[in-house]
Structures are given as C-alpha cells and as structure tokens.
Amino acid sequence: MDLNFNAKTSFFDETACRLCPVECGANRQTGVGACGATDTIRIAKYYLHPFEEPCISFKKGSGTIFFTGCSLKCVFCQNYELSRAQRGKKITPQGLADIFKELEELGAENISLVTAGHLVPYLLPAFEIYRPKIPVVYNSSGYEKIDAVQLIDPFIDVYLPDMKFYSSVLSNRYAGKPDYFSVASETVSFMAQKPLKMTADGKMLSGCIVRHLVMPMGLNDTRAILKWFASELPQTTYLSLMSQYTPFGKIENYKELNRGITAREYDTALAFAQELGIKNLFAQELSSKGERFIPKWDF
C-alpha cells in the first residue's frame, strides 16, 4: 500500500516491521507479521454496536469496525477467529473512509476502531480522505507502542484500552507476552491524558475508559491493576470493570479458564474499586456474557 500520509516514520518500515512491541521484523509487503496482517486492511464486520459502555453505545449504538489480526493473541480471546486468521474483507483507505460516512449516515454515536494497532499506518490515509464528524473511539488491547498511538492520536477522541494483566507470569502464560504490563501501563497512561468531555445527557465526546476483564482465579491481578489505576491515572479516567469472561479460544490446556467468574469474585473486584476510591466506574451484570453478545462475522 502507498503510505502517502504521515505514516512514513523513522520507526515504521513495512519491509522490516517493528510497529508493535513484538518487533517481529516481517516484510508486510510480501509476508505476514506476528499480528497476522500484511500491508492490506481487512475487516470482519462494521455495524451499530449496542453493547458497549453506556456513554459509548449511548442511544443509537457505536459505529464499530472490527479489524482482523492482533499483536497480543490471548488464548482466551472471544474474537479468536479475527485475531488469528487472515480472514475478513479487504478494503482500501477509500473503502474505509466510505464506511466512516456510512456509519455516520446510519446514526452512529461515534466511529469505533477495534484492535487497529497493527494497522495504524495503513488507516491514516482514510482520515486524510474523510475526517468523521462524530467522535472516533480507539479500542485497544493496550499492548502498543506509544509511538504508534501518537501517529493516530490527532484523529482520536476517546481511548478504550484494555488493561489485561499485571503479573508477568499470567501475561506470559495466556498471551506469551511477559512484558505486557510494562508496555501497556505506559501506553494507557498516555491515552488517559485525553481530556474528558461529556454531554449533559451522558455521551462521551472525549476521554479515556480503561477496561479490565475479571478472570477466574484472577483477583490478585485485578487488585494490583486497580491499585495502579487509582494511583497513576488522572481522576477523570473511567474504569470499566467487566464480568463478561466466557470460555472461548484455545483453552484446552488451561483448566482454570474453563468457567466464567462467580458472583463472589466479581463482587470482590467491585469492593476493591470502592476501597480505592474509584468513582468513575462502569460495572456489568453477570448475565452480560455468552455467545449472544458476540457479533456474527461477515467473512
């Protein structure tokens, strides 16, 4: 792809890609990176998503675009088909810009880019073609280089990163990334600097929501992450404490992951947040999980 915008940077060479923290060195023009992507944008679905945080989906739904590929590759990924395989519809920057417009015309509250970190330089020309008139949300695993995020930051209004792991043992076991927290904590801290702006009726126009998925047997990690959140991030940052873990992906060799979390585990996590004085908090019902909440992909 012709990177004709400001995607040509000193740290991004698509013939020896080191865009993400994996730094695999793949030639994206002729081969596939560790993320599963080439120099072509692929998407699995775009639609009005009704099940995001209330300030994101709001009244009409978030105009969500699911990209394929991922640099993190958690074994329990509920979007396993997207994160692992070179599937999805190929689109050009013009095609992506057209999707922005289409979602706006459908009444989307925002444009949400889901797992786009491994494609950032290839997305920028779409914003040169068309800048959405509604907020743009960047939905991220958190495992990204700050340099890459800074490339797309001028076009992002709301950051929606995960903070998945604190323990290097857990991040290595479940994602093969022992450096997850050291990388994600810096990147999420950058994202959390986005100023908070809300409408009077509760729609987020700008800001940062950090998501943490409570895992089976994972309360020690949850407590450590919430302590970091409370002590290191601006008080304007929102926390989305998620109960939706559902056994998916390739977890045959991870017996501890073969169940959802219990009400007691989630209540304990909520109590941690309250003890730490976290007030900007989104909580979930335990019923907010299962296959019915996962989109049907348009491969």
Entry pTM: 0.95
Say what the pLDDT of residue 5 is.
46
> Which among 138, 31, 145, 142 has a CA at the least distance from the CA of 86?
31
With beta carbons less than 8 A apart as the criterion, state whether 208 and 161 touch: yes
Which whole number is the average pLDDT over 89-112? 98
Of 198 and 82, the structure prediction assigns the larger pLDDT to 198
Domains along the sequence of the chain with CATH: 41-293 (3.20.20.70)
Task: Give the model confidence (pLDDT) of 181-193 as tens digits.
Answer: 999 999 999 999 9
Say what the pLDDT of residue 145 is.
98
**Secondary structure of residue 2 in the 3-state scheme:** coil
Of 98 and 10, the structure prediction assigns the larger pLDDT to 98
Which whole number is the average pLDDT over 22-44? 96
Q: What share of the chain is helix, strand, coil (3-state, %, to 5)?
A: 35, 15, 50
Q: What are phi and psi of 111, to 5 degrees?
A: -110, 120
Determine the Cα–Cα distance for residues 299 and 297; give it in Å rounded to an integer: 6
With beta carbons less than 8 A apart as the criterion, state whether 160 and 119 touch: no
Please give the full DSSP string across 215-245, using - where no structure is assigned. -TT-HHHHHHHHHHHHHHS-TT-EEEEE---
